[in-house]
Amino acid sequence: MGSAEKTWLALFALTLLGALLAETGHAGWPLTLAVAFAIVVKGSLVIDHYMEMPLARASFRIILYSFAFVMTLMVLLSQGLGEAIRRLTTIY
């Protein structure tokens, strides 16, 4: 089995695990941390392996890794500041 297949299986396993966790109906920090961890791992796998960013210019790598970092941060902030975000984004 080649590197691409192993990476694909890891991405599939993390996606399946995420779906199973979502079906538990539990909410809170443990689930949020698991989702954030999955974002980091899956993002890194896709960016490094499929997009071949280690071979790209530094500016491209910085943009993509920053996007993955911001998305992870937004997931964590939505758990910690969810009510405040809801109030800020509600029209009525």
Residue-by-residue pLDDT tens, the chain, 92 positions: 888 889 999 999 999 988 888 888 777 888 888 888 888 999 989 988 888 888 889 898 899 899 989 989 988 888 888 888 888 888 87
d(CA 16, CA 26): 16
Alpha-carbon 2 to chain mean position: 24
Which tokens go with 25? Answer: 């109906």
Please state the pTM of the whole predicted model: 0.75
